[in-house]
Amino acid sequence: MTKLLTLLTILLALAALASLHLGLRHYAPGTVLDALRGGTSPDAIIVATLRVPRTLVGLCSGAALGLAGFLMQAATRNPLAEPGLLGINGGAALAVVLGVTLGNAPGLAGIGALALVGGLAATALVFGIVAAAGRAAGPATTLLAGVTVAAMLASLTQVLLLVDETALETMLFWLSGGFAGRDLELLALGLPALVVGCLGALVLAPSLDALRLDDDSAGALGVRVTGVRLAALTLAAILASGAVAMAGPVVFLGLVAPHLARRLAPASGSAGLIAATALTGATLAVLADIAARLIVAPGESPIGAVLALVGVPVLVGLLRQRREAVL
């Protein structure tokens, strides 16, 4: 496992360096090095003020979304679970639209803060519905409640956007999701969420290993199944809300990264998979961002479209596996 994590770290570092070099304009290694040293040439300033924040936001968002997806899949034992199913994207979007509609445009950092609060509030609503179900609640109840809340929040957001055209114009940039145009201030919102999520996930790792069994077997091993499941989903919500605050809604990363990590390390425990998933998610995000810049140059493709090229085949494959298992 150590060799795999070392390899993934090297790949992530290479992807990050490539992100600083490549784009509408390709910069020489000397220019990038000058930018990292605080150089004052025009090209160095462009790299430092545009590409460095973009790369760091992509790296942190990818790691957070990948880890959030892993925690959701582990907690619900559902390989199709991903952060959007907790209503996080819907809550974040509604909070931002409300902020823009009721007041002045809050700026990118303000939008990020609203998204963070909205995502966590939506998750709290989902947990409230699950708690109201009492002992009958299970993983399927959580996913169903999340889908219902997400649909309701999306409907409210659409109504507000139809009423206020100014909010629609402000939201288009953020709703598209991506890392372009982001600044380092947004890391103050997302980085603490990533740190808390990683540390919390590592603490839960032994319990998540037991949770791979059925609930009765995990309980017999001394695991408080309901508490562990709730803690894992809470950490997933914190991670995904932080990612949405930085980058807007970015799809498929939370679904694809955990499965790719499991393919790379099929026999690993949860602790190793947590690290592998975070590194895989970060690398996928940075590589997808590079591809988004190059595919339709001199324009730029939405990063969601690039990730869909990977995510849709993975989703179809998982659905086929589940169907074959049922048959």
Residue 104: pLDDT band (50, 70, 90) is low
- State mean pLDDT over 309-327: 66
Residue 237: CATH number of its domain: 1.10.3470.10
Mean pLDDT score, 258-277? 89
Q: What is the pLDDT of residues 121-142, one digit of tens each?
A: 888 898 888 888 776 666 677 7
Q: Is 252 helix (H, G, I), strand (E, B) or coil?
A: coil
| CA 245/CA 26 separation, integer angstroms | 29
Cα–Cα distance list, 82 to 48, 226, 257 (Å): 33, 19, 10
- What integer pLDDT is reported at residue 135 of this predicted model? 66
For residue 249, what pLDDT is reported? 84
Structural domains of the chain, count: 1
Binning pLDDT at 50, 70 and 90, where does residue 167 land?
A: low
* pTM for this entry: 0.88
For residue 214, the tally of other CB atoms under 10 A from its CB is 11
Residue 325: pLDDT band (50, 70, 90) is very low
User: With bands split at pLDDT 50, 70 and 90, how would you rate the model's confidence at 246?
Assistant: confident
pLDDT at 281: 95
- Mean pLDDT of the 292-310 span: 82
- Res. 176: pLDDT tops 80: no
What is the mean pLDDT of the segment spanning 203-215? Answer: 89
Provide the residue count of the chain.
Answer: 327
b/e sequence 261-277, b meaning 16+ C-beta within 10 Å = bbebbeebebbbbbbbb
> How far apart, in Å, do the first and last CA atoms of the chain sit?
35
pLDDT digits (tens, 9 = 90+) for 34-75: 888 888 888 888 898 889 999 999 999 999 999 999 998 998
Do 91 and 245 form a contact (C-beta atoms < 8 A)? no
Phi-psi region of 248 (alpha: psi -120 to 50; beta: other; left: phi over 0): left
CA distance linking residue 108 with residue 87, whole number of Å: 22
Selected residue with higher pLDDT from 93 and 195: 195
Matching residue, tokens 């889908």 = 147
- Token readout for 193 is 């969420």
Q: What is the pLDDT of residue 166?
A: 67
For residues 293 and 167, what is the distance between their CA atoms, to the nearest angstrom?
Answer: 27
Q: How far apart are CA 210 and CA 75, in angstroms?
A: 11
Per-residue pLDDT at 324 exceeds 60: no
The alpha-carbon radius of gyration of the chain (Å, integer) is 20
Domain containing 213: what range?
Answer: 2-326
